[in-house]
A and B are shown apart, each in its own frame.
Chain A
Amino acid sequence: MNACRYSENLVAFLDEELREQERADFQSHLSNCQSCGETIDQQRSLGAALASLPTVDPSPGFETRFWARIAREDQAAEQRREQGFWARAGWRGWLVGLTTAAVAAGAVMLALRSPGPELDPDFALVADAEQFELLADADIELLEVMEILEAWDGQEI
């Protein structure tokens, strides 16, 4: 170990991190200090060894795993944004949302019950052609039984 009291500047000298005056002082010190001269050589060898340390390549699939994480991150961010909207809206937002949903549900129910000319039964009642056919051929007795069951289901026992 270098016991010279200037030796702490040695590494900074090699790294070119000394200020101009410090550098000049250390250079003039070097010409008189054998200990620091020897240490400089050792440190240069060490610097070369450190510079030649092997590079580290990630294992196969590293990038694929990373982009999959980013995709999950995007998804989570989207969820956070949605949750954030409702959190910011507070109870008033929920109230507005629920009221809107209730009004929409009521409108649909009303539309189902009123056979006005503006109602398109195919659109309102069925999701696809298969269901439409099923309903078109529906047994009237079966529909009556369903109505009775629905009415019974609504009563408290």
Chain B
Amino acid sequence: MMDEDSRLMLAFQAGDRQAFEQLFRSYTPRLMAFLLRMVKDRGRAEELTQDVFVRVYQAAERYEPRAKFSTWLFGIAHNLALNDLARAYRKRERPLEDAHSETTADRNPDASEQLEARRMTEALEAAIGELPERQRSALMLRTVQGLGYEEIGTVLGASVSSVKSLLHRAREKLVSQMKEAGR
């Protein structure tokens, strides 16, 4: 059965521009969250989010709903993030900006009871940033995007058992680092 977002994409293919606008608005925050944690640079994450939708726009004529729309979309996002990381690595550029700068949490007042929660969130973001790329991708696709193991496998080009293993290792590392941060 075709998902609602694939239907919207087909509507856009048939000329309904509002359908594309709807997809753009609905997926932008999730794509930003995923890409920011992948490339760890807010400016690049924004640029890549736009790149993803430009690709979607360009591919509209050729689009066929073979998988869920979200699987296809995050597949594009993942590939673009990998290319970006490879470019940054070749240039020996280290992302300088903190992954969660100017996030919603930063706009909250620095009430004392929020400081501890914020410290833990920062520790968690840092720990996610330290994960190997594939573990990080799998984790973000699962926890932030809610993709199933099979969909994650499609995005990463991995089997379901590999996805299971990636998520297991990623979460074990995070638990271990959060314990250290909590001491």
Contacts and interface: CB of A to CB of B under 8 A. Distances in A.
Contacts of B104: 54-57
Contacts of A69: 50, 54
Given A54-B105, A55-B103, A58-B46, A49 B120 contact: yes
Contacts of A145: none
B29 interface: yes
Given A8-B168, A62-B46, A17 B149 contact: yes
A31 interface: no
Interface size class of B (residues with CB under 8 A): 35 or more
Interface string A12-46: 10010100000000000000000000010011001
The A contact surface, by secondary structure, is helix
A138 B167 CA distance: 87
A11 B173 CA distance: 13
Contacts of B28: 58, 62
Contacts of A62: 28, 46, 50
B102 A59 contact: yes
Contacts of B33: 53, 55-56
Nearest to B118: A54
A73 interface: yes
A3 B171 CA distance: 14
Interface stretch (B62-70, B77-85, B90-98, B140-148): B140-148
B121 interface: yes
The B contact surface, by secondary structure, is helix
Interface string A63-88: 00110011001000100000000000
A58 B49 contact: yes
A42 B179 CA distance: 9
A44 to B, nearest CB: 10
B167 A56 contact: no
Contacts of B148: 17
A111 B168 CA distance: 83
With most chain B CB atoms within 10 A of its CB, the pick from A39, A46, A49, A56 is: A56
B158 to A, nearest CB: 14
A43 B106 CA distance: 26
B29 A56 contact: yes
Interface of A: 1-2, 7-12, 15, 17, 39, 42-43, 46-47, 49-59, 62, 65-66, 69-70, 73, 77
Given A12-B168, A55-B104, A56-B29, 11 more contacts: A15-B149, A49-B124, A50-B124, A54-B103, A54-B106, A55-B29, A56-B104, A57-B29, A58-B29, A65-B50, A69-B54
25 contacts: A7-B168, A8-B168, A9-B164, A12-B149, A17-B148, A39-B175, A42-B179, A46-B171, A49-B178, A50-B124, A50-B143, A50-B144, A52-B121, A53-B33, A53-B121, A55-B103, A55-B104, A57-B32, A57-B104, A58-B28, A58-B49, A59-B42, A62-B28, A65-B50, A69-B54
